[in-house]
Amino acid sequence: MKNRDIGYLIKSINDKLKVRADAELKDCHLTLSQSRVLAFLNSCGGQATQKEIEDFMEVSHPTVVGIVTRMEQNGHVVSWIDPKDRRNKIVQITEQSAALGRDMQRRVAANEKRMLESLSEEDIETLTGWLITIYDNLNRYEPE
């Protein structure tokens, strides 16, 4: 690899993860982002508000609306306006995709294990700490 800039390496790792995940998920008619939503919904007991999904994924409202709309079209989720608070839209995993949500959690864990297989537990803890620090540093500053 010619470029060893940290930002470039992080982006390259993310790109590889996305390409591999999208290829694995193609048969399920899911993208990586959609699989993350399924795994998140599964971890929340099967449903969450769009706002909770936005916060989890750290993306904008229009982005989540697009993801949820495509997932509804493919039968992975259903959504409705919260009768208790009409400002909220609730998103629920469908019965047919509940098992898929559990599978997404397993795939994420397996991919993470594969990605870190040559690192010791101590290395993983150190790396995690560094990545959290970098992430926090970036959150502290507004774009110029």
Q: What is the CATH number of the domain that holds 73?
A: 1.10.10.10
Q: What is the domain range of residue 35?
A: 6-118
On whether residue 47 sits in a domain, the answer given is yes
pTM: 0.76
For residue 126, what pLDDT is reported? 96
Residue whose entry in the numeric block shows the structure tokens 């970098």:
134
For residue 3, what pLDDT is reported? 67
Span 29-88, pLDDT tens digits: 888 889 889 889 988 999 999 999 999 999 999 999 999 999 999 999 999 999 998 888
Report the chain's mean pLDDT, rounded to a whole number: 89
On whether residue 141 sits in a domain, the answer given is no
On whether residue 127 sits in a domain, the answer given is no
Structure tokens at 6: 């940290």
Structure tokens at 131: 């990545």
Task: Report which of 106, 125, 107, 104 is spatially closest to residue 116, judged by C-alpha positions.
Answer: 125
Structure tokens at 124: 């993983």
On whether residue 134 sits in a domain, the answer given is no
68-85 CB burial, b ≥16 within 10 A, e <16: bebbeeeebbebeeeeee
Q: How far apart are CA 77 and CA 70, in angstroms?
A: 9
On whether residue 144 sits in a domain, the answer given is no
Structure tokens at 3: 């470029």
108 pLDDT more than 80: no
On whether residue 44 sits in a domain, the answer given is yes
On whether residue 142 sits in a domain, the answer given is no
- Angle at Cα 124 formed by Cα 123 and Cα 127, nearest 5°? 85
On whether residue 1 sits in a domain, the answer given is no
pLDDT band at 1 (very low <50, low <70, confident <90, very high): low
Question: Domains in the chain: how many in total?
Answer: 1
Say what the alpha-carbon torsion angle 27, 30, 35, 41 is, to the nearest 10 degrees: -110
Crossing angle for the helix pair 32-43 and 61-73, nearest 10 degrees? 90
